Amino acid sequence: MTIRHKLLTIATTAAFLVTGSLAANAEALKPYKDRLFRYKKVHETLYNGDFIVVEYSKQRDLRDRDEVDERRVYGNYVSYKPKRGRGSAELSANGRTVQYMGTGKWKGGAKAIVIYIHGQGGNRFQGMNDVSFGGNFNRIQNLMVRNGGAYLTVDIKNFDKRGTADVAALIEYQKQISPGAKVVVACGSMGGIICWNLVRNGNYSRLLSGIMLLGSPKDPNFLGSSALSRNVPIYMGQGTLDRVYNWEDQANFFKQIKSRAPNYPIKFTLFDTGTHGTPIRMTDWRLVLNWMLG
């Protein structure tokens, strides 16, 4: 069965459109290298634009983009302006020490805050790597620095309640020093467990303006929780060739949410022929964040 036929099954009650996007009503973040990072082709648009299928070309989006495949992107994708304000810090919370890094207005006065949570085997340095993942981490750093925001990465030692509590403590601290800022937490791979835990906890979810799941697992417990009524925006990015988390399982989970709460603010981007790390490389940060923040 082709991907299109599988999509037809998933979208039995969806509305097909010819075109569509994640466009926001108001742009919180100004353009930055949009020509390089925007989606080159959208194959399908479902659920009135909430579910899109984006073309991923390994030749164009990896080999032609990276000077060294999956190691170093070509220099025109990168600006090192965020390095000027980049630093490391520690936060004592829950009887533990939380190590994190930041750039932009991460020491206070931020208009918006994005926190990246790595997956299993990662660390806080992953999301601060300027040249890996096609330069996409450098782009989010620049978007926040150039728009008066803050971008942080944090070490996660436990992908459970302890890790979730540590991230929540960091969010609460950032809200104290940037009281007017909206906070979005982006989670890569297994880090998605932290994102789902934050959304399902009423005390934590009130601090959030959105979560981004980049090749992350679903959370069946979400469907039966009160979080479904709190409307924290959710973005899910998935590759069709992801061997860790099956895209059909994730897409059907999106459908379940839409079935139970048709107006829930959730969007899904499926990268056709993309693998496990493709959503981290290819997700258009500005497009998603302008939807969540705007």
What confidence tens digit (pLDDT) does each residue in 150-207 have? 999 999 999 999 999 999 999 999 999 999 999 999 999 999 999 999 999 999 999 9
Q: What's the pLDDT band for 6 if we cut at 50, 70, 90?
A: confident
Tell whether the model's pLDDT for residue 14 goes beyond 90.
no
Angle at 218 between CA 214 and CA 223, to 5 degrees: 130
Contacts of 20 (CB under 8 A, 6+ apart): 42, 45, 48, 49, 52
Q: Per residue in 55-99, pLDDT tens?
A: 999 999 999 999 999 999 999 999 999 999 999 999 999 999 999
- Enter the tokens of residue 282: 């290819």
Q: Which residue has the tokens 């107006």?
A: 263
More confident residue, 45 or 22: 45
- Give percent above pLDDT 90 in the chain: 90
Which pTM does this prediction carry? 0.94
